[in-house]
Amino acid sequence: ENKHEEKVQDPDREKDKPKADMGSKTWADLAGEMKIFLWNPEERTCLGRTAKSWGLTVLSELVDWDAPALMVLSALSTLSTSMWPSKIIAESGGAPGVMIRPYLNGFTIAFNVSQPNTWQPYVDSMHHFLAAYDDKVQEEKNIECVPGQYFIQGGNDSEEKKACQFKRSLLQNCSGIEDPTFGYLKGQPCILLKMNRV
């Protein structure tokens, strides 16, 4: 055999080759090919993959996505168990920070002195808010703290802590004790600013 000799092509072999004519396929041909692609009963493949191939692919994807997900979940659980319960803002009430009282439907306070029905809801709101600060309630529930000294409570973190007493009578004219209308009757209303625990 001569290496330089050109290979002679068999003319009959050329006839057996299918022509790659893309434009000659009908919709029925395309639908048949799609059907074979979706499920090939001869090779038992779905979308060109065998059951074993699909199993390995799904397993690989599960490993690829579950490992990072487990790492994130473990980091979040570690973080949530190491947080101090006193630092959780959800325990600060509905709105942490500074709040205004009376608060009805917003921060706008509008009333007419000569029409008690316009300011009575504000007065009722103040009485309701200050009920928890009645002197007797504070004496029973909270501790009398000495000004200028820190008070550190021991015990478990899960135990309910006590606060320093804040008696309603400290508010003087705005306590609602001397003037039950909180100054709304005179056109000089009391407005309280309350600092929530942050």
pLDDT at 179 over 80: yes
Q: To the nearest whole number, what is the mean pLDDT of the chain?
A: 80
- Side chain identity, residue 130: L
Q: Write the DSSP string, 88-155.
A: -GGGG-SS-SEEEES-SSSS-----TT-HHHHHHHHHHHHHHHGGG-HHHHHHHSB-PPTT------S
Give the model's pLDDT for residue 147: 83
The encoded tokens of residue 168 equal: 């309603």
CA distance 114 to 184: 10
Domain coordinates in residue numbering, the chain: 25-82, 89-145+162-195
Q: How much of the chain is helix, strand and coil, in % rounded to 5?
A: 45, 10, 45
Q: Which helix (H) or strand (E) covers residue 195, if one does?
A: strand 192-195
**101 touches 192 (CB < 8 A):** yes
Q: Which helix (H) or strand (E) covers residue 40, if one does?
A: strand 39-40
pLDDT tens figures, 87-124: 555 555 556 678 888 877 777 888 889 999 999 999 99
